[in-house]
Structure formats: C-alpha cells, structure tokens
Amino acid sequence: MQNCCAVIAAAGSSSRMGKGVSKQFIPLLGIPVIIRTLMAFDAAETVSASVVVCRAGDEGRLQQYIDWYAIKKVAAVVAGGATRQESAAAGAMAVPEGFGLIAVHDGARPLITPEKINLCVNACLKTGAAALGVPLKDTVKKVDGSGFVVSTPDRSGMVAVQTPQVFRYGLYMKALRDAFAAGENYTDDCQLAEKAGVKVSVCSGDYGNIKITTPEDVCIAEAILRMRGVK
C-alpha cells in the first residue's frame, strides 16, 4: 500500500460564522472542530501523517490544541493562502517525502469517520483519484442573474461531493501546476483534477459528514454526535 498523507484545509475566513469567529476552534460537545477532524484521521489506519493548513496567525493556538489533545499524526502546521487552491498547495508542498497518496479534507468537516476515510483512500489505490459523495436529496434549480429559474437539472446520477478527496500525489501536484499556469483558482480539488484530465471515482459518503459553515451547523453537528453516542 502506498502511504497516504492528509492535508487538512482549515484556513478559511469563517465569514458566515460571524465576525471574528474562527470556526475551527468552535467547541462541539467540548472539543474544538479541528481537533475532532484530526482525531478521525489519527484513527484511520490508511493515513500515516497529516498536514494542517490554518489561517496565518492561528499556528500557535492550533499547535497548543494538538499538544493538549495528544494528536499523533500531524507532521506540519502551515499558513494558508488567499484562496482554497493556494491553501491546498501550501499543504501539499509540506507533505513529507515518500508519500504516494494525498487526502485533501475540509477541516470544518469534523464528523468524518475513520471508516469513510479508509474507504476513500482504498478507492484511490484502485482508481488514482477518489472522493466521497452522497445522492442529492433536494431538487436543484438553475437560476439567472435576476433570480428566475432557467431550468431544473435531472438529479438522477448527481451527487453532493464531500471530502476527503484522495489523489495520487504526483497527479495532484501536476494538476496544481497546470491550474496555476492557466491562471485558474478552483474551490474543489476534484474539479482541479478533472481539468487536468484525471478521472475521479466517487464512493459512498455519509449525510452526517456535514461542513460547519453557519451557526446552525454547530447545533446540527452536536445533534449528530449525540445520535452517534458521543457525550
């Protein structure tokens, strides 16, 4: 098996969470969001190391939490850039030598389970690129600039993509170089790979693997944790 290193993207502005709030440090049943994320990767047998990409200035506080909660696999904590792609690139550059796979994950998806991480990494070993995804529950509408419905896409075969998204390291680095050379900035790593001609397989995600974006998501995440028996 090729060793896999996770890149945890936690450098977002948290603008929808409220002024001055860093969602990575919000407690979920007493444990910070980012630590719950890192605990899942610590417990995933397919991942050997993690690199955390945080907002510039958050490095010291984050390292304190990593030490307090005895997170074992973090190999580096680095500052992110102005965009998701720049932050992912900073994390990818900090991956130690010798890793054949890279698993990019949103730090604000703290309900990811070790089982789903292992599933996605193992899928990547077979296909070269894999992501978690779940079938859409809602009808999706395409609207124009004035807010009027233009069309209703057929949702059969459509999925809401989640993270982690796992790639062969060489493929991912080439995709990054191609994107920067073309002046592109993608918010999704699958799209980054797709534009480089990489076919991404989708494996079964989890509706509980939500992304913490707004204050309401904190309440939902805590409810899911309680449903899982976490106190």
Domain containing 12 — which CATH number?
3.90.550.10
Beta bridge partners of 159: 135
> Which region holds residue 147: left if phi is over 0, alpha if psi is between -120 and 50, else beta?
left
Spell out the per-residue pLDDT of the chain, length 231, in tens.
Answer: 469 999 999 997 666 666 566 889 999 999 999 999 999 999 999 999 999 999 999 999 999 999 999 999 999 999 999 999 999 999 999 999 999 999 999 999 999 999 999 999 999 999 999 999 999 999 999 999 999 999 999 888 899 999 999 999 999 999 999 999 999 999 899 999 999 999 999 999 999 999 999 999 999 999 999 999 997
Rounded to whole angstroms, how far apart are CA atoms 22 and 20?
7
Task: Tell me if 162 sits within 8 A of 125, measured CB to CB.
Answer: no
At residue 19, the pLDDT reads 57
Phi-psi bin for 169: left (phi > 0), alpha (psi -120 to 50), beta?
alpha
Q: Could you give the number of structural domains in the chain?
A: 1
Query: For position 12, what pLDDT does the model report?
Result: 77
Q: Which residue has the tokens 């047998």?
A: 45
Virtual torsion, Cα 228, 32, 18, 162, nearest 10 deg: -50
Q: Please say whether the beta carbons of 185 and 179 come within 8 A.
A: yes
Beta strands 47-54 and 74-79, pairing class: parallel
pTM for the whole structure: 0.94
Enclosing domain of residue 120: 4-227
Which tens digits make up the pLDDT trace of 114-138?
A: 999 999 999 999 999 999 999 999 9
